[in-house]
Chain A
Amino acid sequence: MSPTQWDFPVELCCRPMAFVTLTGLDVVFNAVHRAVWDAFCANRRADRVPISFKVLPGDHEYPKCRPKRTSYEWYIPKGILKTGWMNKHLNLVPALVVVFYELDWDEPQWKEKQSECATRVEIVRQSLQGRNTKVAVVLIQKKTPLPPGEDVIASERAAALCDACELSGKSLFVLPHTDHLVGYIIRLENAFYEHAQTYYYTEIRRVKSHKEFLNKTTHQLLFVRHQFKIAFFSELKQDTQNALKNYRTAYNLVHELRAHETNILEIKTMAGFINYKICRLCFQHNTPLDAIAQFRKHIDFCKKKIGSAELSFEHAAWMSKQFQAFGDLFDEAIKLGLTAIQTQNPGFYYQQAAYYAQERKQLAKTLCNHEASVMYPNPDPLETQTGVLDFYGQRSWRQGILSFDLSDPEKEKVGILAIQLKERNVVHSEMIITLLSNAVAQFKKYKCPRMKSHLMVQMGEEYYYAKDYTKALKLLDYVMCDYRSEGWWTLLTSILTTALKCSYLMAQLKDYITYSLELLGRASTLKDDQKSRIEKNLINVLMNESPDPEPDCDILAVKTAQKLWADRISLAGSNIFTIAVQDFVPFVQCKAKFHAPSFHVDVPIQFDIYLKADCPHPIRFSKLCVSFNNQEYNQFCVIEEASKASEVLENLTQGKMCLVPGKTRKLLFKFVAKTEDVGKKIEITSVDLALGNEMGRCVVLNWQGGGGDAASSQEALQAARSFKRRPKLPDNEVHWDSIIIQASTMIISRVPNISVHLRHEPPALTNEMYCLVVTVESHEKTEIRDVKLTAGLKPGQDANLTQKTHVTLHGTELCDESYPALLTDIPLGDLHPGEQLEKMLYVRCGTVGSRMFLVYVSYLINTTVEEKEIVCKCHKDETVTIETVFPFDVAVKFVSTKFEHLERVYADIPFLLMTDVLSASPWALTIVSSELQLAPSMTTVDQLESQVDNVVLQTGESASECFCLRCPSLGNVEGGVATGHYIISWKRTSAMENIPTISTVITLPHVIVETIPLHVNADLPSFGRVRESLPVKYHLQNKTNLVQDVEISVEPSDAFMFSGLKQIRLRILPGAEQEMLYNFYPLMAGYQQLPSLSINLLRFPNFTNQLLRRFIPTSIFVKPQGRLMDDTSIAAA
């Protein structure tokens, strides 16, 4: 954009820098000079002193200095600040003029050169007459200078040159043109900078010195001017603290000026300038809060200073500029490292600037609506002689007039007219949009998505006013979804209304239809009459006609639009628009609901499509189609109502496809699923509802899935939470809210009409061929075919069970590992109605535990659904859990020949092995036979014949066997000696002949075998009798290879008298046996302790009497004397 009246002048916005001019440099033709100049201006980074340099010829004419006033007594200022003043001190009047001159100290023609240099200085001085500008001379030398003080000629000549040029020694510099040019230049410019600062200091003093001559009545303007100048010079001096202080004073002084309609613009302009400077400096000093506070103060001061009512748009323009400038300053400060926050960022200022720009537009619209015949005044009152104003903020037609009375009202009128006519040509929208987009960029940065959306809406609206409908629509369309998703319907409606206008004016069919659909919908807050109008337009469009223009549109634009619409019609062919509705809230709602979450394949699938219209008038649709994931069903779910285009609005309440506003319409669909789809899900992928017909235009509303749009999920949630009772409706109607979308259903197989029975005798016994009888009976009305049985272990159980479970159809042989755990698809043939068949299965379970068995019967049957013959596959399954148990518990124990429990057996000494088979089965078991397989280490004492052949055991009964065994001496075996196996062959007593017997092998426990040195056994009768002799014979057998010394003694017992050797010591040879004979004479009846034999082996001290007692009896039963004898004794008596 080109700068306008309201933009701040560049000299205000730039950073003031000391102005230094360089003369005597020929930068075009002299390479050395060029290098010097480049060193001055190249790479001016922040670390170099702030000077603005300019190369000027030595005889350059500087602005003339007006003669100094000695008295202000008769002086009346004509304005606050001259428009040229800032530029003059920035770019025209230097603080320092530097004269470059090529001169070496050893120059042969020194005199001539010296005077030439003096002349040059003199010319510059002449041109600067009356100014305090400093002059300095720089000698460009080819030689490197000697250190100061060493070069006598140099110091002499330098002093002479200073004299000739009337310079102080501080203003003469030497620039050796050697390698270190940049270094020298930097030192030079630092020196220049000091000179410049001195210059500005004197300037400040000079301006301040005027103050005492001023009086408050006539020189009010001068107070401001001088204060401003002091501040500006301070800035040039880089004394920003003082600059700020002086600007603040100036600001206060501006507001002390007497304001009137004629000078309000000037005051505001200056206030704006000073405010800008203050804020700028505050940001520079890193005190943003001061800047904001100053700005707020400024706005509060000036907000109400509107000035001339006829030019009030100027005030708005000025306000807008203030905000924009502050926003720019703020933004710049942020770029330099300031951090802004969500609630205080430049965006707010841009936004406000945009707001004032909008106000300016509004005001301009009302104030500048002159007839076209009103001509721009001639001569142009805004034209000045110089082309610019003398003072900032004055009116061109009365510059410098301070009187508050209008000397020439006619001239004033013409001037105002000129301004108004000029304002009419301003493109306001462009400015507004720029400001808004600046604000958008800021709010985006500071996490204000809603603010951003709001501004984008405003931008869109502004584009609409600017007649850039494409851009307007783009922006509005972009933000619409934000408002929609947050449910701010009033705002959405307002945006949609604008968008509809745009699409109308561009004759954008699809957009026009989409926005109409939503404006008619339940999210729209439009009044019914508006809705009716839109509905009518929509129907017109669908009938291939032009809609009526939207209200409040620009008349010219409407004319263009009408032509566009007419063109659209002549192009009409097949105009089908598909609109996906899930992203917005159209005026028709749709819900699809399957009657059940699953359907059997032999019944028709039914579902309802519910439709509800929210528009004000009934509306007729032409077609409804439903699409499924299996597209073959699509053809069955189409409703089409042939109607002429003209009928869309007629015959309204009749017909399936005519929707009455607010009423829920239910449409029932029915179709037969394919048998291949059994076990699959049927899903509604979309519902398409067509409005209009192919002859005119046709809109297809497309719902994804089973219906629902942008607002419906929230509504459904609310409805689900609600406890509200819904009023009762007639039977055939439903409440919209109570309908829950069900967009998919499962196809499941036909219900089987057979019975499957299982007959068996649980529990199963380990390893037996467990018989399972399956009975299948058909209850179907027709023959069933291809009956198949799958039976066995139900899949999905412990993998170990599969290894240990085997199923077979043949029970006559034992099955082994190779048999499967599940038999699949055993054909059973066909079955007539009522017929039944039986199949026997044998299961062998190798381990105990419970197992689930599956029996699955499938078959085919022909049936008709909706007059359609289909072959259904039905199946019925049964599962049964069968426990497997051991058929019996086998207990084994080792006992001595005395039936005493043995923990260990003794080598070569016979012992007994007892088995005890306890039936654990609830069914009777027949033990066919039993067998003892001895380990090689064991030998039998007598025949190993089974003692339990063909014994039948009922539950809880047990069968015992006893075998006498001997274990030859083997030496010491760690962990005992294997005994062997005990094998029981058995079957259920109830089992049939051909069922094989099962052999159960029981591993017998190991037994610890011990060798003993001496085996003692006793020969004695089973009982004694009181006072009858009882002969006892002890056999002592030496089991070692050594001769053993044996000490034997017999302890007397109270119950016996005895005869025999009471104590003896003898020797038994290896393997030999010694007999000891005793005669016991019992004295008492009862179970009596025998006189105990004690043996002491001298070689084996471990051989104790305890051990001995295992082999020989320790007591005996003594019977009393016989009665018979008593009888005889009595008889004898």
Chain B
Amino acid sequence: MAKNYPLYIRSTPTENELKFHYMVHTSLDVVDEKISAMGKALVDQRELYLGLLYPTEDYKVYGYVTNSKVKFVMVVDSSNTALRDNEIRSMFRKLHNSYTDVMCNPFYNPGDRIQSRAFDNMVTSMMIQVC
């Protein structure tokens, strides 16, 4: 997400997709708050990973924001104990790398929805790994 509209959003399983969309959307409140709090810190010392954004009963919502304020939000089942902070962090890093690749494509217009197949495959593989 750049401005705050979704560039790419995917969920698996696909039922109840709307609920997850809402969840991601509401998590932006926390992201916004964290970014504005971070604004005071030095730019190069900034941690991109925002950590757990907020707790819900059944899911955990994690956030990550690039230096150009592109936000990544990940919602995982809270019963999935295999995913600890470090795993989440590396997943975000992977996402970020893949996003950077998308941006490097001269035919990709920043702000457009991401339709890159490579990005899609990466997300799919990540989802398969987790589930």
Contact = CB atoms under 8 A, between A and B. Distances in A.
Interface of A: 299, 342-343, 348, 352, 355, 447-451, 454, 457, 483, 486-488, 490-491, 494, 717-718, 721-724
Contacts of A299: 57
Interface stretch (B88-96, B106-114, B119-127): B106-114
Contacts of B110: 721
Contacts of B5: 486-488
A592 B6 CA distance: 30
B26 to A, nearest CB: 4
A717 B107 contact: no
Given A343-B53, A348-B54, A447 B21 contact: no
Given A447-B33, A454-B25, A491-B21, A723 B4 contact: no
Contacts of A487: 3-6
Closest 9 CB pairs of A and B: A487-B5, A448-B29, A451-B26, A722-B109, A343-B54, A450-B26, A450-B29, A486-B4, A454-B26
A718 B111 contact: yes
B18 interface: yes
A447 B31 CA distance: 11
Interface of B: 3-6, 17-18, 21-22, 25-26, 28-30, 33, 53-57, 106-107, 109-112
29 contacts: A299-B57, A342-B54, A343-B55, A348-B54, A348-B55, A352-B57, A447-B33, A448-B26, A451-B29, A454-B22, A454-B25, A454-B26, A483-B25, A486-B5, A487-B4, A487-B6, A490-B17, A490-B21, A491-B18, A491-B22, A494-B18, A717-B111, A718-B109, A722-B109, A723-B106, A723-B107, A723-B109, A724-B107, A724-B109
Contacts, number: 66
Given A454-B25, A491-B25, 19 more contacts: A342-B29, A343-B53, A343-B54, A355-B57, A447-B29, A447-B33, A448-B26, A450-B25, A450-B26, A454-B22, A487-B5, A488-B21, A490-B18, A491-B22, A718-B109, A718-B111, A721-B109, A722-B109, A724-B109
A798 B21 CA distance: 66
A755 to B, nearest CB: 51
A454 B106 CA distance: 37
A798 to B, nearest CB: 50
B44 to A, nearest CB: 26
A342 B28 CA distance: 12
A691 to B, nearest CB: 29
Contacts of B17: 490
Contacts of B56: 348, 352
A90 to B, nearest CB: 34
A488 B33 contact: no
From A343, A355, A483, A487, name the one whose CB has the most chain B CB atoms within 10 angstroms.
Answer: A343
A724 B111 CA distance: 13
A355 B23 CA distance: 14
B108 to A, nearest CB: 9
Nearest to B28: A450
Contacts of B53: 343
Contacts of A717: 111
A462 to B, nearest CB: 15
A483 B22 CA distance: 10
A490 B21 CA distance: 8
B55 to A, nearest CB: 7
A488 B107 CA distance: 24
A488 B26 contact: no
Contacts of A343: 30, 53-55
Contacts of B18: 490-491, 494
Contacts of A483: 25
Contacts of A454: 22, 25-26
A488 B25 contact: yes
Nearest to A455: B26
A723 B6 CA distance: 21
Contacts of B55: 343, 348
Contacts of A490: 17-18, 21
A710 to B, nearest CB: 12
Contacts of A723: 106-107, 109
A352 B78 CA distance: 15
A457 B23 CA distance: 13
Contacts of B106: 723
Contacts of A724: 107, 109
Contacts of B25: 450, 454, 483, 486, 488, 491
A454 B53 CA distance: 17
Given A491-B18, A491-B21, A721-B110, A449 B29 contact: yes
Contacts of A448: 26, 29-30
A447 B5 CA distance: 19
Nearest to A719: B109
A893 B76 CA distance: 102
Contacts of A722: 109, 112
Q: Which of B17, B25, B110 has the most CB of A within 10 A?
A: B25
Nearest to B17: A490
A433 to B, nearest CB: 18
Nearest to A296: B55
User: Which among A448, A450, A457, A722 has the highest number of chain B CB atoms within 10 Å?
Assistant: A450
A327 to B, nearest CB: 14
A948 to B, nearest CB: 81
